[in-house]
Amino acid sequence: MITSEFVHLRQDGVSLLVSLASDLVQVLHWGSDLGADPDFESILSATTEPTAHAEGDLPEQHGIWREAARSTTGAPALSGHRNGQDFSPLFVLESFDATETTLVVNGVDRVAGLGIETSFRFVGAGVMVTATTVTNLASGKYFLNELASYLPLPDRAMESLDFSGRWVKERQPIRRQIQPGVISREVREGRSSHDYTIVQMALSAGAQYRAGEAWSMGLMFSGNSKHTIEQLQSGRKAISAGELLMPGEIILDEGQSHSSAEVAAIYSDKGIDGVTDRSYRWLRSRSNHPTNIRPRPLTLNVWEAVYFDHDLARLTELAKVAEEIGVERFVLDDGWFGSRRDDSKGLGDWVVSDEVWPEGLGPLVDVVKKHGMEFGLWFEGEMVNPDSDLYRAHPDWILSAGGRVPPTGRGQLVLDLTNPDCYQQVLSQVDAVLSAYDISYIKWDHNRPLVEPGHGGQAAVHKQTEAIYRLFSQLKQNHPGLEIESCASGGGRIDLGMAQVVDRFWVSDCNDALERQQIQRYTQIAIPPEMLGSHIGPTESHTTGRVHNLGFRAITALFGHAGLEWDITQTSPEERELLTSWVSYYKAKRDLIHSGQMVRVETANDSSLVHGVVSQDGTAALFAYVTTAGQGPSRPNALRLEGLNPATSYRVKAVFPVGKPVFQERTSPAWLDGVTMTGAALSQIGLRPPILFPENALLIEIEAL
């Protein structure tokens, strides 16, 4: 609803209520739907604030731009200056444009010579995308420090949830109280990073997976970032996300504009899973979402099978076994090009190596195709090893500052894709390989953080990030149907910006199922499983040394875009049989796993996890019960299943497509062979699980009767 002073946007149970007056544009509410006809004037009156001693004479006014000129003591949305001047803008509303689901507000500060435009767009499933553009309207350069998106939080937002991590242990949850001060998650790696939160949430007190309120923000950008939750001494709270700009990175001449990265703002009154549900429905509604094109092919990546040991005979053996098991896509990883026989040299030379592939990649591609699979190939196009033909020819094509070569990382430097010649070289080399062979998929790696990322003396992360988006779009345009997987030493570049341009993320270099249970669980908070590569790794994990049975590894890998990353030529006949059965199970269930609602059930202990996928119509579901450690009580806690229709009767049974998990079997629960229960009983009473050994998983199938 729109009046001259209020705009009320609504979608799918979410409202954004904004009051617009010439001197203040203010979000009065972002949260649950207020109904078709809220009484704007009363809400404005009800929310008028008292003033306290020792503060301004007027209450702080948190307009959408949070200018200090309104007595706002929090961080401003816009920060910058014109050679030290115009540091404190005050915007006056010039115009606005609104529909039922979008609002665009224009403000101007004639003194500071700045124009500002903020948009709020509901893009489906109640997800709101917001962004701001600032324009320099005056003479003299405007130095932009920060341009972030803020939304107010209600007082009852008491806790925060975000995610941190490192290589092989990405996305570990951090839950804390919101207290005075700022909870800030900043990334300065020039890529989203292993430590990137993907989304940051404020929660009502004690909110759970499926209860309570959540207000979430996630930056749709893959460079430097900042997510904050702020509580001022007045108690006012706000959540923000924005690009973290480096000094001097954005300088606007008169007439120039800069648009902030977009931010996806998601409100849920159905707990954390409610945020997940909206995020999935939004991403899945895109016409280019991978499952809207075709089912996600079961993938074999040969990295942990052969590493740099590329050999046609060996890879042919792998391809044969892969076909026998039912693999649909075969991916050749690092080591096929230039002098790249180990990780110290060759990056930047995207020409097939004569040494290891004397007849080119053709013979391998033919073998893979003959065995009925698609062929995929690895690149790391933003990087160069000093020991490479490219670097010898163009040592100046790297991001750097101060006229020095930045420290290397994994023995490599970062190419300056903001240099058109360098960009063109990478594009044409990659393009030539994709044109020469039938390649339907590329895994694109990014194995080091950016250090001193300058172009011509100026910080260039923003432009470098735009360049990689452009390059991916160009490659997709040149090679229709090409899929791209974003990898950065595992999960170092998973974000909602990259999610718009790629089809898959490599979630982690850790294929240890125990670690993966956690890493996948929390990466899936915002990104749906069909976009998350999850492979069965070797029996003994290469990154942790842990040994897990095949069932645990396979059930863990099932809840994603599943695959294998293991020397399957070394598997026993029994293992192959189980793998074949698992692959056909994945094929039978992928439509459900890749379209349903994600459900995470609260457990009464921290030594087991329950998660599952329920079809959108509630008629089918698949759950996993996972023991991450030995159970406390001798009789394990009830296994409750949520997200089902309470009144519907379901047939519930344990299934063993990869053999039985290990459990004490003096007596086994009767329901394993099948039981009929309502959704209400499954959620309230649950099933008594068998006594699983630690680090085991049980799969439970559910069908409505």
To the nearest whole angstrom, how small is the minimum distance from the Cβ of residue 490 to ligand DGJ?
Answer: 5
Residue from 445, 503, 642, 701 binding ligand DGJ (CB under 6 A)? 445
487 binds ligand DGJ (CB under 6 A): yes
To the nearest whole angstrom, how small is the minimum distance from the Cβ of residue 410 to ligand DGJ?
Answer: 8
The helix/strand/coil state of 554 is: helix
To the nearest whole angstrom, how small is the minimum distance from the Cβ of residue 299 to ligand DGJ?
Answer: 12
C-alpha closest to that of 519 among 533, 528, 507: 507
Calpha distance 128→15 (Å, rounded): 10
Q: How many CB atoms lie within 10 A of CB 234?
A: 16
506 binds ligand DGJ (CB under 6 A): yes
Q: What mask, x for binding ligand DGJ by CB under 6 A, covers residues 257 to 296? A: ----------------------------------------
489 binds ligand DGJ (CB under 6 A): yes
Can you give the three-state secondary structure of 120-163, one letter per residue? Answer: EEECCCCCEEEEEEEEECCCCCEEEEEEEEEEEECCCEEEEEEE
Q: Is 583 left (phi over 0), alpha (psi -120 to 50) or beta?
A: alpha
Calpha distance 520→350 (Å, rounded): 32
Catalytic residue among 445, 495, 503, 512: 445
484 binds ligand DGJ (CB under 6 A): no
253 is catalytic: no
Residue from 38, 274, 490, 689 binding ligand DGJ (CB under 6 A)? 490
Within 507-546, which residues bind ligand DGJ (CB under 6 A)? Answer: 509
CB-based contacts of 44, cutoff 8 Å, min separation 6: 19, 28
Residue from 96, 122, 357, 378 binding ligand DGJ (CB under 6 A)? 378
Within 675-694, which residues bind ligand DGJ (CB under 6 A)? Answer: none
The helix/strand/coil state of 33 is: coil
The helix/strand/coil state of 5 is: coil
Within 221-250, which residues bind ligand DGJ (CB under 6 A)? Answer: none
Q: What mask, x for binding ligand DGJ by CB under 6 A, covers residues 316 to 335? A: -----------------xx-
Calpha distance 278→265 (Å, rounded): 10
Inter-residue contact 569 to 317 (CB < 8 Å)? yes
- Sole window of 36-44, 156-164, 275-283, 483-491 interacting with ligand DGJ (rule: CB under 6 A): 483-491
Strands of 630-674 (E only): list them: 649-655, 663-664
Inter-residue contact 351 to 336 (CB < 8 Å)? no
For ligand DGJ, the closer CB: 128 or 433: 433
Q: Where are the alpha helices (DSSP H) in 361-419?
A: 362-370, 389-393
**End-to-end C-alpha distance for the chain, whole angstroms:** 43
To the nearest whole angstrom, how small is the minimum distance from the Cβ of residue 559 to ligand DGJ?
Answer: 20
For ligand DGJ, the closer CB: 278 or 310: 310
Within 114-133, which residues bind ligand DGJ (CB under 6 A)? Answer: none
For ligand DGJ, the closer CB: 282 or 336: 336
Neighbouring-strand partners of residue 268: 214
CB-based contacts of 269, cutoff 8 Å, min separation 6: 13, 31, 32, 213
To the nearest whole angstrom, how small is the minimum distance from the Cβ of residue 449 to ligand DGJ?
Answer: 14
For ligand DGJ, the closer CB: 324 or 343: 343
447 binds ligand DGJ (CB under 6 A): yes
To the nearest whole angstrom, how small is the minimum distance from the Cβ of residue 485 to ligand DGJ?
Answer: 10
To the nearest whole angstrom, how small is the minimum distance from the Cβ of residue 488 to ligand DGJ?
Answer: 7
Neighbouring-strand partners of residue 133: 117, 259
379 binds ligand DGJ (CB under 6 A): no
**Could you tell me how many residues of this chain bind ligand DGJ (CB under 6 A)?**
12
33 is catalytic: no
Question: Which DSSP string do the residues of 403-455 spell out, in sequence order?
Answer: TBPPPPBTTBEEB-TTSHHHHHHHHHHHHHHHHHTT--EEEE---S--SS-EE
- Sole window of 31-39, 138-146, 482-490, 661-669 interacting with ligand DGJ (rule: CB under 6 A): 482-490
Residue from 163, 303, 552, 585 binding ligand DGJ (CB under 6 A)? 303
192 binds ligand DGJ (CB under 6 A): no
Calpha distance 164→200 (Å, rounded): 10
For ligand DGJ, the closer CB: 489 or 520: 489
- Name the residues that contact ligand DGJ, by CB under 6 A: 303, 333-334, 343, 378, 445, 447, 487, 489-490, 506, 509
Catalytic (active-site) positions: 445, 509
